[in-house]
Chain A
Amino acid sequence: MPPPARGHGALTPPSPRGVRAAVGRVLHAGVLMSAAILVTGYLVGLVGQPAAFGSHAVEKAHLAGRASFPHSFGAVWDGIGRGSGEAIIVAGVLVLILTPVAGIVTSAVAFARRRDWLFTAISATVLSVILGSFLLGWLSA
């Protein structure tokens, strides 16, 4: 079912406006959620460790790559439980990284609902490549 064309004799868009709007909403929600988590994490860190945030030495350690911070899903989860600002910031970063993936999932569902099996399969392949890279990350860590 082709969507109605815009303007006079314009090419029918291959993807309906509704799908684009849904993908746009998912991306927008991901961005807002991640921004909220990032700001929360920073404020939690600032309030919880005022000495570290006002420190010249800590700043130098971070720029020199000598600082330690959570870099596994387990460590981030544990850190959030302890109310660590750094762990919450990392969680915000992870939400940001996963936002485009959520966008492509939304678009894949829409392709499937329109019975566009070719593009459902293409979307599924893209998703499996990205999931494969996550496994690669775990294995290389």
Chain B
Amino acid sequence: MTVVELSLVLLGVSILAGALGSLLGLGGGFVIVPVLTLVFHLDIRLAIGTSIVAVAATSSAGAARNVTESITNLRVATFLALATTLGAVTGALLAGVFDARFLFALFGIVLAVSGAQMIHKRRVPEVKEPIPGLETVGMHVGAAGGAASGGRMADRLALHSAYYDEAEGLDVPYLVANTGLGLALMYLAGTLSGLLGIGSGVLKVPAMDLAMHIPMKVSTATSNLLIGLTAAASAVVYFARGDIDPIIAGPVAIGVLLGATQGSKWLVGIRSDRLRVLFVGVLGVVAVQMIWKGIG
């Protein structure tokens, strides 16, 4: 292939990665890294550097729309970014200390467990009716269930909110729970992001959705913004190391931006349950891929 031909192929793959990534609140790295290493036999170092650029592109393009559509919870994103950015720095520091194969396998197992949890989880029904006595933010969190530990922290930080569900045609209020656990999981997600150059939305979305009881759609949109902040905390390290090749990262960035813009358009009209099924499917594929890479 010539450079121009390579650029066109990368552009096509990246449009797909961007669309899938922003649709699911992932960075898109789960498409970019396997394609670049397995199909193009690109040096893993450069694949990871390219991936972190794709991650930043997916995040910003998707988040720009989600934020404007009022799906993203900015307070949750800002608060959890404390943990993800610290984690990303930790990951960048730890890079090279751990055996990469062990990490791939571990990551695959974590994904498989999250996927299994999402299939078997008995959903706490999302509150469609106004919660009695909860007209203002930060009041006591009692009846709505799941407001166990961390509910008080969420109260103090006024993390509870509501989002407008276009498919259902109404405002859906929600209460945030287990804030401490969410913070711990986000630190782990940030560390893996810094270490592997991925968005780790596959961990961020379940941390908000399953642990913190934030509706799937809000979790996905908030994850989109968080991923970009996390990527920024490690991307400059990759750039300085010479892991971001403009001839590869340029076409990938343009493609991902195009795909992510389309993907987030679909997200606004899609139903949460369909998004969940698609998400679990992608999770399974990536898990197998990661474990295979770890033991293969």
Contact = CB atoms under 8 A, between A and B. Distances in A.
B253 A93 contact: yes
A107 B2 CA distance: 44
A55 B5 CA distance: 10
B245 A100 contact: no
Interface in A117-139: 118-119, 122-123, 125-126, 129-130, 132-134, 136-138
Q: Chain A interface residue count: which class?
A: 35 or more
Interface residues of B, number: 83
Nearest to B2: A54
**Residue of B79, B134, B161, B235 with most chain A CB atoms under a 10 A cut-off:** B235
Interface in A1-45: 2, 5-15, 17, 19-21, 23-25, 27-28, 30-31, 34-35, 38-39, 41-42
Contact of A99 (B46, B56, B65, B244): B56
B246 A89 contact: yes
A19 B161 contact: no
B26 interface: no
B236 A134 contact: yes
B236 A56 contact: no
Contact of A92 (B5, B41, B253): B253
A141 B60 CA distance: 26
Interface in B3-44: 3-7, 40-43
Secondary structure class of chain A's binding surface, majority of residues:
helix
Contact of B74 (A41, A53, A107): A107
B74 A23 contact: yes
A21 B236 CA distance: 28
Interface string A66-82: 01011110000000000
B233 interface: yes
B232 interface: yes
B67 interface: yes
Interface stretch (B81-89, B107-115, B267-275, B285-293): B81-89
B234 interface: yes
Contact of A136 (B57, B92, B248): B92
A86 B246 contact: yes
B28 to A, nearest CB: 13
Nearest to A110: B74
B75 interface: yes
Contacts of B157: 118-119
12 contacts: A7-B171, A11-B135, A24-B64, A24-B65, A28-B64, A67-B247, A69-B242, A72-B240, A100-B231, A104-B78, A126-B85, A133-B88
Interface of A: 2, 5-15, 17, 19-21, 23-25, 27-28, 30-31, 34-35, 38-39, 41-42, 46, 52-56, 58-59, 62-65, 67, 69-72, 86-87, 89-90, 92-94, 96-101, 103-104, 107-108, 111, 118-119, 122-123, 125-126, 129-130, 132-134, 136-138, 140-141
Given A42-B7, A93-B244, 6 more contacts: A27-B64, A42-B254, A46-B4, A65-B45, A89-B247, A119-B157
